[in-house]
Amino acid sequence: MRVRHLTGLALALTLLPGLAACGGGSGPESEEPAGEATSADIVPTQEEAAPASNVPSDTFVQVTIGEPETLDPAWTYETSGAAVESNLYDTPLYFNREKADDYVPQLAESWTLSDDQKTITLTMRKGVTFHAGGTLEPSDVAYSLHRAMLQDRVDGPMTLFLNPLLGTSTIEGYAFAKADISTDVPEGAEAPTLEQVPADVIQQVCEDVKATVVADNDAGTVTITLKQPTPWFPQLLSQPWSAVLDKEWMIEQKDWDDDCATWPQWHNPEPQESVLFDKANGTGPYKLGEWKKGQEITLEANADYWRTEPIWEGGPSGPAKLTHIVIQKVDEWGTRFAKLTAGEADTIVVPRANIDQMASLVHTEYDGGDEGAPATEVNPGGSVNLFKGYPTVAADAAMFHFAINPESEFIGSGQLDGNGIPVDFFTDIDVRKGFAHCFNWETFIQDALKGEGVQTRGPIIQGLQGYSDTSPIYEYDPVKCEASLAKAWGGKLPETGFTMTLAYNQGNDTRKTAAEILADELAAINEKYKIEVQELEWATFLEARRAQKFPISIAGWLADYYDASNWVEPFMSSAGAYARAQSFPADMQAKFDEKIAAGLAETDPAKRDAIYAELQQMAIDEAIDIFLAQSTGRFYVSRQTTGWYNNPLAPGLWYYAMSKP
Amino acid sequence: MTNYIIRRLLLLPVILFGVTLLIFAMISFLSAEQRAALYVADVPKKPGALEKIIEQYGLNDPVHEQYGRWIKSMADGNLGFSKTGKQPVAQVIRDRIPATAELALWSIVPILVVGIQLGILSALRHNQWSDHVLRVASIVGTSAPTFMVGLLLLMFFAAYAGWLPTGDRLTHEMQRVVDAPGWRSPTGLLTVDGLVNGRVDVVWDALKHLVLPVATLSFVSWAVMLRITRSSMLEVLRQEYVQTARAKGLAERAVIQKHARPNAMLPVVTVGGFQLISLLNGAVVTETVFNWPGIGRSFVQAASNLDIITVLGLVLFSSTLLIVGNLAVDVLYAWLDPRVRLN
C-alpha cells in the first residue's frame, strides 16, 4: 500500500482540467486513435514481485471507452464490437501470433489453395461444439458466410467478401445489375430497392452467393471459389467477419432460414434487429456473460473449449487461463487512471496526451510489440509494463462530407448566413483546401501524439504500395488557408463566416485535440469561422455518420488486411465505409471507382504501385479529407499479466493468449 | 389534515397533466423519425418503413389524438426506446434507479445529521469563533465543485492510499455473486439485498464502495443544511416564546430542545426533502467520477448524445418524482406545522 500524498495531489490537480474527456483505438472503424494503447506481455522480474493487484489472478479487467454497436459479427465493422467477438467466435483460420500474413488452422484443421489461387478448400475440424451445445459442421461455415454476404448492411464489412467472391461491392448492386435496374437515378428521385427486384432474380442472387462457398458435410470440407486471385483472403478468414455460427441455432432464434426466397427480410438490418445484437453462440474460448449496456461486458471462459494442442509453438491450449473477463466502459480519464493506479484494472485506454501521467506507474518499458522486445526497467515500484514503438496499421483522418443530411443538427441554420453552413458547403474545393492548410500537424503530433507519429500523406499508409515519402501533402499555412477560404463560395465566406459542429467519439482525446486545433486555427484566421466541438458516444457517432449528418467527421481506420486496396476502398470507393457517407460528386466518384477497380484487377506489382500512387495523389488533389497521422503503438498492462503480443490487424485483445501466474 | 391532503392530492393530476403537456410539446418539435423512437427501437432501413410507422402509430394524426396515444403508451410503461441505453427508456430507468436510490438514501443521512447538528451548534455559538469557522467551512462546502471534491477523494483514498475502491457498486467477485442465478433482489439496493440473501460480505463490499461517493455528495450538501438550520435556529431563538421560556426559568437545554429546535426544523424539512428528491434524480457529476451506474450518468450520456427521447423520458421521471416528493414534503410540513393546514 503506497501512500504518496504529494504526488497524488499534484497528479489529481493536473487531472482536473482534463476531466471532461479522453480517448483511445483502431480497427475497421476504430474508436481509439491510431496506435493508441492496447495490451501487453510482461513477466515480473525475479528479484521483485509485482505490486499487489486488486484484480484476482483468474480475472482480467480492461477499462476502455465506447462499447459495441452490436455483437453480430457480420454487422460489426468497428473495433469495440470486433474485439469482443474475436474472443467469442472462432474463425476457419487464425493469425500465426503477431504475423499478419501467416496463418494457423483454427476451425479448419487444414486448408489448401489451388494452383490458380482461385479455390480455397477448408477441411473442417470434427468434434467442436458451440456454446449452446450444437456440433460444428461444414454447413455452419457456409451458412455463416452466406448469411453475412446477404445481410450486407450499409457501410458494413461484407464488401470485403463480395468483391473477391462475386465482383461486386454490395449485394443490392449485384441484384440490381442482374435485374437490369439502373442505380443511376436523377437527383430527387428515389433510389431503387430490393422490392423492385423480381423474385427469380432474388433467388438467383442467393444461389450465386451460395455457389461461392459450398459445404460438403460428408467430406468435412468447405470450398470457397474466388472470382480472381485474392492474396489477402486468408486474412479475412482469420477475422471476426468469418465467425462461424450454428446454423440450426440461428434458425431456431428466427434469423435467416437459409431459404433463397426470404433473404431480403434479413438484409441490411438495424443493429437491434439482429438476433445476435446482444447474444452470442460461438465456439470460441469465451462465452458471453452479460452485456450491461453503457457499463460493462463480461466474458466467461468456455470450460469445454475444443483446443487441446497449442495454437502455435508455446501458445495457449485447453480452456482459457483467465476465466473472467470484464470490459468496463469508463469515459473519464481521471477515473480510468485511478482504477489502474489502485490496481483495480489490468489495462486502460491511455490517450497519448496523458502518457506523462502514466510514467510513475511504469515498471518496465519494452521497445516493441511483445515480451521478447528489448526491455528497460524504469521504476522498480511500478505496477504496469509498457510496450511501445511497435508498428501499427491504423491512421486517423478528418473527412469532409459533400452532401450533408438536411436533418443534421450539426450544421446550424443550414444556410451560409454565419449561423450555419449549407448542406453542400464542402463541395467547394477552396473550402476543403483552406481547411487542410489550417490544420497544424506539428502541434497535433506534439500535443496529441507526444511526437510519436508522422503525418499521413493520403489514405495509403507507410509500407504499402502507392506510398511515397516524397508525395505532395498539405502543410500548415495560415496564409494559404485564409486565401483559399477567401476565394470560396464566390468570395462571400470572410463576410458571412460559418458555424458548424465537429463531433468526435467520447473519451477520445486525440481526436478531440485534432478538432480543437482545426477550430482554433480557423477562428484565428477569422472570428466568424466558428467550429464547435462536441463529443458523442461511439455508437451514436457511428450512427450519425452513417446518416450523413456530419459536416466533418474525425475517425480512424485499422486495416482489415495488409494491402493498399484496403485503404483506398474505405476512404475513396462509392461503397467505402467512410467515402459512401461523404457523397463525393458523381464524376469524382466515378474516377475513384474506376481506378480502385483497376488496382484490384492488376497483378503486376509495379503497375499496382503506380495505380495506388495515383489514387493517393487524387485524394490529395481533391482534398477529400485532412489526413492526420499514423502513430506507433503504445500499450500498458499490469505486471501480473503475461502473454500479450501485438498483431497489427487484431481488433483488440485476444484474452485466450494471456494469463496471470 | 385529511382535507389538506385531499386538496393536495386533487392537485396532483392537474400538475402531472401540465408536465406531460410540456413534454409532449417538446416531442412534437421532433422529426417523425425521432418521434418513431417512442414506439419502435429502430426505423428499419427499408423503403417505406418510416411511412408505415407513421401510419401505424398515427404520427401525423391531430395533436390531441397523438397526445392521447402517447399517454396510453406511457401508462403501459412505454417511454420510448433509448438509443444510448440500447434498450427501452423504462428499462434504463428500472436498471439505474436502484444504484441512484442507494446512493441518495445513504447520502441523505450524513447530510441531515451533520448539517443540522452543525447548524444548531453554529446558531447557539452565534458570533463566537466556532460559528465563524463553521460559516467559512459552509461557504467552502457550497462553493467546492463536486467534480473537484470527488476527484481529490478518489485520488487520495482510492488510487494512492488504496483504502477504498475507486468506483462501481461492487468488486468484480461480489458482482458475480449478485449476478448469479438464485440471487434475490427485492429492492435493488445492494446493502439491503445482501442482508436478504444472508451475504454480509456483499453488504460490506457495497458499503465500502458507497463511502467515497457518499462523502462527495455529503461534503457539498451538508453546508446547505448547516446554513438553513443556522438561520432558522437564530430566527427562532429571537422569538418571544423562547424568551418567555427562558424567563420562566427553564434550563437552557430544555429551551433549545423543547421549544427552539422543533420549530427551527420546519424550513429544514423542506430543504432536506428537496435535497433527497434531487439526489434521487441522480447525482450527475458524482456518478460520473465514481463510475456509478445511476440515473445521473444516463442523463449525461443521453444529453451529450442528443438522445432526446431518453432525455425526455428521464425528465418525465424526474418531474413525477419531484411532484410526488413535493407533495410528501408539503404533507409532512403540514403535519409538523398546524398553521399550514389551517390556512
Residue B336 clears pLDDT 70, i.e. is over it: yes
Q: What is the CATH number of the domain that holds A174?
A: 3.90.76.10
Residue A122 bridge partners (DSSP): A111, A222
Between A212 and B53, where is the model more confident? A212
Residue B281 clears pLDDT 90, i.e. is over it: no
Of B41, B162, B168, the CB nearest to A1: B162
* A636 within 8 A of A386, measured Cβ to Cβ: yes
Question: Do A590 and A539 have their domain in common?
Answer: yes
Strands A59-64 and B81-82: unpaired
Burial class (CB in 10 A: 0-12, 13-18, 19+), A47: exposed
Please give the Cα distance from A195 to A192 (Å, whole number): 8
Of A204, A207, A177, nearest in space to A192 by CA: A177
CB atoms within 10 A of CB A314: 8
The alpha carbon of residue A86 is apart from the nearest alpha carbon of chain B, in Å, by 22
Q: Which three cell numbers stand for residue B325?
A: 416528493
Q: What is the CATH number of the domain that holds A479?
A: 3.10.105.10
- The count of structural domains within chain A is 3
Spatial neighbors of B222 by CB under 8 A, at least 6 apart, are: B110, B111, B114, B115, B118, B141
A4/B159 Cβ within 8 A: no
Q: What is the pLDDT of residue B307?
A: 81
B162/A55 Cβ within 8 A: no
Please give the Cα distance from A176 to A190 (Å, whole number): 14
Q: What is the pLDDT of residues B64-85, one digit of tens each?
A: 888 888 888 888 888 888 888 8
Please give the Cα distance from A623 to A458 (Å, whole number): 9
Q: What is the pLDDT of residue B259?
A: 84
Q: What is the pLDDT of residue A20?
A: 30
Cβ of B29 under 8 Å from any chain A Cβ? no
Of B156, B167, B298, the CB nearest to A335: B167
Cβ of B42 under 8 Å from any chain A Cβ? yes
Q: What is the pLDDT of residue B144?
A: 85
Per-residue DSSP letter, A420: B
Residues of chain A with pLDDT under 70: 1-52, 187-188
Of A4, A56, A271, the CB nearest to B173: A56
Size of interface A-B (CB pairs under 8 A): 143
Question: Do A202 and A241 have their domain in common?
Answer: yes
Question: Do A211 and A242 have their domain in common?
Answer: yes
B155/A15 Cβ within 8 A: yes
The alpha carbon of residue A54 is apart from the nearest alpha carbon of chain B, in Å, by 9
Of A54, A295, A334, the CB nearest to B293: A295
Q: Please list every residue in chain B whose beta carbon sits closer than 8 Å to the beta carbon of residue A53.
A: none
Cβ of B181 under 8 Å from any chain A Cβ? no
| Residue A406 phi, psi dihedral angles, 5° rounding | -60, -20
Burial class (CB in 10 A: 0-12, 13-18, 19+), B109: exposed
The alpha carbon of residue B164 is apart from the nearest alpha carbon of chain A, in Å, by 9
Of A9, A154, A540, the CB nearest to B305: A540
The residue segments making up the domain with residue A347 are: 4-18+50-68+287-390+633-657
Q: What kind of fold does domain B90-304 have according to CATH? A: MetI-like fold (1.10.3720)
Q: Is residue A596 part of a domain?
A: yes
A272/B155 Cβ within 8 A: no
Q: What is the pLDDT of residue A24?
A: 30
Residue B201 clears pLDDT 50, i.e. is over it: yes
A273/B44 Cβ within 8 A: yes
B160/A7 Cβ within 8 A: yes
Strands A552-558 and A394-400: antiparallel
Complex confidence, ipTM: 0.83
Question: Do A167 and A263 have their domain in common?
Answer: yes
Lookup result for grid cell 403508451? B73
Mean pLDDT of B155-169: 93
Q: What is the pLDDT of residue B47?
A: 62
| Residue A354 phi, psi dihedral angles, 5° rounding | -100, 10
Between B88 and B306, where is the model more confident? B88
Which three-class secondary structure state does DSSP give residue A166? helix
Lookup result for grid cell 501524439? A449
- B153 pLDDT tier (thresholds 50, 70, 90): very high
CB atoms within 10 A of CB B172: 20
Q: Which three cell numbers stand for residue A340?
A: 489502474
A193/B151 Cβ within 8 A: no
Residue B43 clears pLDDT 90, i.e. is over it: no
The one-letter code for the residue type at A270 is E
B159/A337 Cβ within 8 A: yes
Considering A241, A256, A276, which residue would you say is the last residue of a domain? A276
Least CA distance to A409: which residue of chain B? Answer: B306
Of A11, A193, A334, the CB nearest to B47: A193
* B149 within 8 A of B143, measured Cβ to Cβ: no
Q: Is residue A23 part of a domain?
A: no
- B341 pLDDT tier (thresholds 50, 70, 90): low
- Tell me which residues of chain B, numbers 114 to 153, contact chain A at a CB-CB cutoff of 8 Å: 147-148, 151-152
Of B160, B289, B307, the CB nearest to A4: B160
Domain ranges of chain B: 2-77, 90-304
Which three-class secondary structure state does DSSP give residue A633? strand
Question: Do A250 and A170 have their domain in common?
Answer: yes
CB atoms within 10 A of CB B238: 9
* A64 within 8 A of A53, measured Cβ to Cβ: no
Cβ of B209 under 8 Å from any chain A Cβ? no
State the pTM of this model: 0.85
Q: What is the pLDDT of residue A96?
A: 95
Q: What is the pLDDT of residues A351-369, one digit of tens each?
A: 888 999 999 999 999 998 8
Q: Is residue A55 part of a domain?
A: yes
The alpha carbon of residue B272 is apart from the nearest alpha carbon of chain A, in Å, by 30
